[in-house]
Amino acid sequence: MGVNRIAIRRAKPTDGRAVAELLGGLGKDFRTTPVKAARRLRTTTDTVFLAMSAQDPVGLVAVNTCRPVHAGHRYGRIMSIVVRQDMKRHGVGRAMMRFALAHLRRLGCRKIELTSRVYRSGAHRFYRAMGFAATSVRFSRTLGR
């Protein structure tokens, strides 16, 4: 399966089923239903793209931007990236990442960040192959009501 047969387009609210299936590939904590995924597509602040092989959604990449006061220029963020299990290691992730970086560059971003759970060693190798380096430690916590 060649990457030249992949087309990347914006996700639409009618893509709820595809988005739910792809997000499930991030692990059980990320499973959701088509109805909920469709609602998220209407309300998310991310820009969400799907990689299509003919009519088949085979990957998802979501991006966002921010302009932090400490930086003085716009940052881009890869918020999520996932390839359908049976399509991994065929260049779909690389194609989506290149597309996302070009999109963020057009928006004026000069630096691209992402976070990735420590156990995702395959993804970390992918990010390094895409030119990213691990430069920070991420802290997170939940807030009580």
Ligand X SMILES: CC(C)(COP(=O)(O)OP(=O)(O)OC[C@H]1O[C@@H](n2cnc3c(N)ncnc32)[C@H](O)[C@@H]1OP(=O)(O)O)[C@@H](O)C(=O)NCCC(=O)NCCS
Contact 61, 22 (CB under 8 A): no
Which of positions 103-122 make contact with ligand X (CB under 6 A)? 116, 120, 122
Question: Which residues sit opposite 9 in a β-bridge?
Answer: 50
Please identify which residue in 6, 41, 81, 109 interacts with ligand X, judged by CB under 6 A: 81
142-145, Cβ contacts within 8 angstroms, sequence gap of 24 or more: none
Check binding of 94 to ligand X (CB under 6 A): yes
Would you say 26 and 56 are in contact if contact means Cβ atoms under 8 Å apart?
no
Q: Minimal distance in Å, beta carbon 98 to ligand X?
A: 9
Cα angle 137-141-145, degrees, rounded to a multiple of 5: 160
Selected from 20, 41, 92, 109, the binder of ligand X by CB under 6 A is 92
The only residue of 21, 90, 100, 104 in contact with ligand X, by rule CB under 6 A? 90
- Contact between 126 and ligand X per CB under 6 A: yes
Q: At closest approach, how far in Å is the CB of 45 from ligand X?
A: 18
**Sign of the CA dihedral running 118, 59, 48, 94:** positive
Q: Which of positions 1-30 make contact with ligand X (CB under 6 A)? A: 25-26
Q: What's the closest the beta carbon of residue 74 comes to ligand X, in angstroms? A: 22
Helices and strands: H and E segment counts in the chain: 4, 5
Give the binding site for ligand X (CB under 6 A).
25-26, 81-83, 88-94, 116, 120, 122-123, 125-126, 129
